[in-house]
């Protein structure tokens, strides 16, 4: 019927994530001011900005870990804490795990499946296989039986990525996913994200300090320094006017391509 | 050993010791994982306040202690989540407050010193069939709930934020575990006493962690260590006629140092 067709098309065009005039403060200081942000299905949104610009805070607001002082946040069209969070994979900026925590690598990945299993259930063979195939995707299958804590920082990060992916989420929220990950693995990871986006309509919101990564892999970019200074196509934010508004010294370019900002700036210095 | 077992009190003490060892060992795994050792000390001391209130009001001391210790355990956790209050500060405050309430209530009631000494240091002569029933019932319930919520408790200990994002009832389970911890402590008091019970909440899990790297082995080893220390301590203390709670703790500590040495050797 036409109503359900309308509902369906509305589902497709409504953003998965929608922030309207969101304000957040810590200790009477505004960290996020009047944020408007959307992310649609099948879109990779890159968030860039200086240290302390509020990027991690923004992700926590989207996830419902933090309630904003003002404004509305919707995730899948509902309040974040009402959403079955099951469809969201999250990779925090700093993992809190300590080195001696008594779990194997594959146990960590299986944690990403706990909510799918529900309370009171035990692991089954299928869960373990899902974890192993996810580890394979991030090139960590050989380490499945090792203790998680003995891995290197970059290896742990790859395992955390596998955990975020294992439950087959519709939205991935990644806070600096490439921290410590070598460039070969990074390339593979971003290719994987693009493939999941194209095949399954996965949406990704990802914070990065790597301008090259954002310009190459993101469909949309948001530049955040307390406020959103730019939200749009990745090529647009390299315009000097926009860049000057938000740019922090911490923006490093690791991939030198046509958009390499520090090269352009050096070029301008000589002018 | 045979002649010891002919005494009813010794039979009761051993049965209680075996049941409690299993419960303490399993809970101990999470206490070590979550660094709750000092919270355990705080809860145990607040149980003293509960016992004293119970005797003053004529409520069964164990029941009063469970309620009071449960409230204090959750209050510690709640207060420590506020800004500017560390967990150690919260424990420091509640632990002494509960003791102070206990001392006042003891002064007002007519508890005998021998009873008091029993609560503080354990009294295996005083374990009745009724106590055994309580330990079996509550201990069984604790083991069952840890079994049912095991993967959730593990995830929350590993990374509470990601656990919350994936939809786990983190706050509920935190308070649930603290309540379990309080009950475990109170039902163990007759064996080791308030002063020493926290040792058995820490040592089995800590010793097992020295040797093994995976949670399933750690839990099994923790149970073995707790059983060995408790049964061994009870038997030795009866033969030598020394304080049983203290003997258990000394034995457990020896096992810990041996495990520590084994762990060091294995890692080289
Ligand atoms: N829990 C907190 N309590 C008080 N202030 C906080 C808290 N978390 C963050 N802030 C403040 O909020 C601001 C934004 O922090 P946030 O972590 O969101 O920045 P970020 O953009 O992720 O930075 P980075 O690039 O370093 O990760 C900072 O000034 C920080 O000091
Ligand atoms: Mg951050």
* Cross-chain residue pair B167–A115, CB shorter than 8 Å: yes
Mutate to test the interface with A, among B151, B168, B172, B267 (most CBs of A within 10 A): B151
* Cross-chain residue pair A102–B33, CB shorter than 8 Å: yes
CA-nearest residue for atom 18, ligand 1, is: A54
Q: pLDDT-based confidence at A96, cuts 50/70/90?
A: low
Per-residue model confidence as pLDDT tens digits over A126-169: 889 999 999 999 999 999 999 999 998 888 989 999 999 998 89
Per-residue model confidence as pLDDT tens digits over A21-46: 999 999 889 999 999 999 999 999 99
Domains and CATH numbers, chain B: 2-263 (1.10.3470.10)
Please tell me the predicted confidence (pLDDT) of residue B114: 67
Please tell me the predicted confidence (pLDDT) of residue A254: 35
- What's the whole-number mean pLDDT along residues A207-214? 86
Q: How far apart are CA A234 and CA A222, in angstroms?
A: 9
- What's the whole-number mean pLDDT along residues A39-55? 92
Q: 3-state SS string over A227-261? A: EEEEEECCCHHHCHHHHHHHCCCCCECCCCCCCCH
* Cross-chain residue pair A65–B209, CB shorter than 8 Å: no
Of B200, B196, B211, the C-alpha closest to B257 is: B211
CA of A263 to the centre of ligand 2 (A): 25
The top-scoring range by mean pLDDT among A255-264, B13-22, B46-55, B112-121 is: B13-22
Please tell me the predicted confidence (pLDDT) of residue A239: 59
Cα angle B5, B11, B14; round to 5 = 110
What atom in ligand 1 is closest to the CA of residue A93? Answer: 27
Of B80, B45, B63, the C-alpha closest to B197 is: B45
* pLDDT averaged over every residue in chain B: 91
Q: Which two tokens stand for residue A248?
A: 């922090």
* Cross-chain residue pair A103–B149, CB shorter than 8 Å: no
Which are the contacts of B186, defined by CB distance < 8 A and separation ≥ 6?
Answer: B47, B50, B62, B65, B66, B69
What atom in ligand 1 is closest to the CA of residue A209? Answer: 25
CA of A53 to the centre of ligand 1 (A): 7
CA-nearest residue for atom 17, ligand 1, is: A56
Of A94, A74, A92, A96, the C-alpha closest to A83 is: A74
Rounded to a whole number of angstroms, the distance from the CA of A115 to the nearest CA of chain B is 6
Please tell me the predicted confidence (pLDDT) of residue A87: 82
Residue B78 gets the label, from left (phi > 0), alpha (psi -120 to 50) or beta, of alpha
**Residue B5, pLDDT above cutoff 80:** no
Under DSSP, is residue A39 helix (H, G, I), strand (E, B) or coil? strand
According to DSSP, the residues that pair with A74 across neighbouring strands are: A18
List residues of A whose CB lies inside 8 A of any B CB.
63, 65, 84-86, 88, 90, 92, 95-97, 100-104, 107-108, 111-112, 114-115, 117, 119-120, 122-123, 147, 163, 167
ipTM: 0.86
**Residue A257, pLDDT above cutoff 60:** no
Please tell me the predicted confidence (pLDDT) of residue A260: 37
In A, minimum Cα distance to B170 occurs at A65
Pocket test for ligand 1, best of A24, A25, A26 (most atoms within 8 A of CB): A26
CA of A143 to the centre of ligand 2 (A): 28
Which are the contacts of A205, defined by CB distance < 8 A and separation ≥ 6?
Answer: A17, A39, A45, A47, A59, A62, A171, A172, A173, A174
Cα angle A200, A127, A142; round to 5 = 90
Of B20, B24, B57, B33, the C-alpha closest to B153 is: B33
Per-residue model confidence as pLDDT tens digits over B236-268: 998 999 999 999 999 999 999 999 999 999 876
Nearest by CB to residue A97, choosing from B149, B151, B159, is B159
* Cross-chain residue pair A95–B159, CB shorter than 8 Å: yes
CA-nearest residue for atom 10, ligand 1, is: A26
Please tell me the predicted confidence (pLDDT) of residue A4: 47
Task: Please indicate whether residue B52 or residue A236 has the higher confidence score (pLDDT).
Answer: B52
Please tell me the predicted confidence (pLDDT) of residue A238: 59
Task: Please indicate whether residue B147 or residue A249 has the higher confidence score (pLDDT).
Answer: B147
CA-nearest residue for atom 16, ligand 1, is: A54
Which are the contacts of B129, defined by CB distance < 8 A and separation ≥ 6?
Answer: B12
Please tell me the predicted confidence (pLDDT) of residue A119: 65
With pLDDT > 90 as the criterion, what percentage of chain B qualifies? 67
In B, minimum Cα distance to A89 occurs at B166
Rounded to a whole number of angstroms, the distance from the CA of B77 to the nearest CA of chain A is 19
CA of A76 to the centre of ligand 2 (A): 24
Q: pLDDT-based confidence at B140, cuts 50/70/90?
A: very high
Q: Within an 8 Å CB–CB cutoff, is residue B161 touching chain A?
A: yes
**Residue B215, pLDDT above cutoff 90:** yes
Q: pLDDT-based confidence at B80, cuts 50/70/90?
A: confident
**Residue B235, pLDDT above cutoff 80:** yes
What atom in ligand 1 is closest to the CA of residue A58? Answer: 18
Q: What is the dihedral of CA A160, A165, A166, A169, to 10 degrees?
A: 140
Exposure string over B82-92, b if 16+ CB within 10 A, otherwise e: eeeeebeebbe
Please tell me the predicted confidence (pLDDT) of residue B249: 94
Q: Within an 8 Å CB–CB cutoff, is residue B149 touching chain A?
A: yes
With pLDDT > 70 as the criterion, what percentage of chain B qualifies? 97
Q: pLDDT-based confidence at B47, cuts 50/70/90?
A: very high
CA atoms within 13 A on the CB side of B183: 19
Q: pLDDT-based confidence at A255, cuts 50/70/90?
A: very low
CA of A65 to the centre of ligand 1 (A): 14
β-strand A29-39 against A17-26: which pairing, if any?
antiparallel
Please tell me the predicted confidence (pLDDT) of residue B268: 67
CA-nearest residue for atom 28, ligand 1, is: A52
Place of tokens 């070969």: A184
In B, minimum Cα distance to A80 occurs at B165
Place of tokens 């939200």: A231
**Helical segments of chain A, H only:** 2-13, 55-63, 105-111, 114-117, 125-137, 153-165, 183-200, 211-217, 240-246, 261-270
Q: 3-state SS string over chain B? A: CHHHHCCHHHHHHHHHHHHHHHHHHHHHHHHHHCCCHHHHHHHHHHHHHHHHHHHHHCCCHHHHHHHHHHHHHHHHHHHHCCCCCCHHHHHHHHHHHHHHHHHHHHHHCCCCHHHHHHHHHCCHHHCCHHHHHHHHHHHHHHHHHHHHCHHHHHHHHHCHHHHHHCCCCHHHHHHHHHHHHHHHHHHHHHHHCCCCHHHHHHHHHHHHHHHCCCHHHHHHHHHHHHHHHHHHHHHHHHHHCCCHHHHHHHHHHHHHHHHHHHHHHHHC
Would you say A140 and A165 are in contact if contact means Cβ atoms under 8 Å apart? no
Place of tokens 């962690």: B209
Of A70, A80, A83, A84, the C-alpha closest to A35 is: A70
Please tell me the predicted confidence (pLDDT) of residue A250: 41
**Residue B78, pLDDT above cutoff 70:** yes
Q: Which two tokens stand for residue A48?
A: 């860039």
**How much is the CA Rg of chain B, to the nearest whole Å?**
18
Per-residue model confidence as pLDDT tens digits over A179-210: 888 888 888 889 989 999 998 899 999 999 88
């Amino acid at each position: 019927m036409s109503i359900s067709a309308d509902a369906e098309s509305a589902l497709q065009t409504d953003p998965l994530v929608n922030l309207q005039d969101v304000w957040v403060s810590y200790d009477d200081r505004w960290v996020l001011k009047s944020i408007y942000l959307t992310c649609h299905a099948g879109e990779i949104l890159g968030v860039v900005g200086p240290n302390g610009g509020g990027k991690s805070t923004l992700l926590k607001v989207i996830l419902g870990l933090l309630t904003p002082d003002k404004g509305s946040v919707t995730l899948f069209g509902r309040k974040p804490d009402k959403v079955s969070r099951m469809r969201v994979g999250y990779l925090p900026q700093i993992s809190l795990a300590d080195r001696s925590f008594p779990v194997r690598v594959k146990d960590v990945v299986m944690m990403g499946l706990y909510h799918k299993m529900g309370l009171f259930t035990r692991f089954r063979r299928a869960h373990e296989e899902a974890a192993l195939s996810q580890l394979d995707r991030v090139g960590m299958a050989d380490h499945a039986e090792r203790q998680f804590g003995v891995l290197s920082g970059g290896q742990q990060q790859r395992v955390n990525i596998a955990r975020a992916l294992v439950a087959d989420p519709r939205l991935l929220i990644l806070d600096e996913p490439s921290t410590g990950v070598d460039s070969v693995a990074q390339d593979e990871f971003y290719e994987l994200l693009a493939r999941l986006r194209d095949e399954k309509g996965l949406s990704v919101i990802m914070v990065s300090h790597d301008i090259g990564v954002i310009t190459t892999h993101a469909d949309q970019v948001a530049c955040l320094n307390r406020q959103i200074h730019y939200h749009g196509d990745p090529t647009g934010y390299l315009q000097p006017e926009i860049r000057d508004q938000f740019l922090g010294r911490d923006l490093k370019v690791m991939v030198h391509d046509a958009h390499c900002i520090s090269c352009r700036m050096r070029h301008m210095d000589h002018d | 050993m045979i002649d010891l077992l002919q005494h009813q009190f010794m039979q009761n003490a051993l049965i209680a010791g075996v049941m409690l060892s299993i419960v303490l060992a399993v809970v101990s795994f999470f206490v070590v994982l979550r660094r709750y050792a000092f919270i355990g000390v705080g809860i145990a001391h607040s149980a003293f306040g509960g016992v004293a209130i119970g005797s003053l009001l004529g409520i069964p001391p164990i029941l009063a202690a469970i309620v009071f210790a449960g409230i204090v355990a959750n209050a510690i956790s709640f207060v420590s989540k506020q800004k500017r209050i560390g967990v150690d500060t919260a424990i420091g405050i509640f632990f002494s407050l509960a003791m102070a309430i206990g001392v006042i209530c003891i002064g007002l009631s007519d508890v005998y010193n021998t009873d008091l000494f029993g609560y503080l240091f354990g009294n295996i002569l005083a374990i009745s069939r009724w106590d055994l029933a309580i330990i079996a019932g509550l201990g069984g319930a604790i083991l069952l709930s840890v079994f049912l919520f095991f993967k959730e408790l593990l995830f929350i200990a590993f990374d509470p934020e990601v656990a919350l994002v994936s939809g786990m009832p983190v706050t509920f389970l935190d308070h649930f575990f603290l309540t379990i911890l309080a009950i475990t402590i109170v039902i163990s008091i007759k064996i080791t006493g308030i002063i020493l019970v926290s040792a058995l909440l820490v040592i089995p899990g800590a010793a097992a962690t020295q040797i093994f790297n995976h949670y399933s082995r750690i839990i099994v080893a923790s149970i073995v260590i707790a059983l060995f220390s408790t049964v061994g301590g009870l038997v030795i203390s009866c033969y030598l006629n020394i304080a049983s709670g203290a003997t258990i703790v000394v034995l457990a500590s020896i096992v810990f140092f041996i495990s520590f040495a084994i762990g060091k050797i294995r890692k080289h």
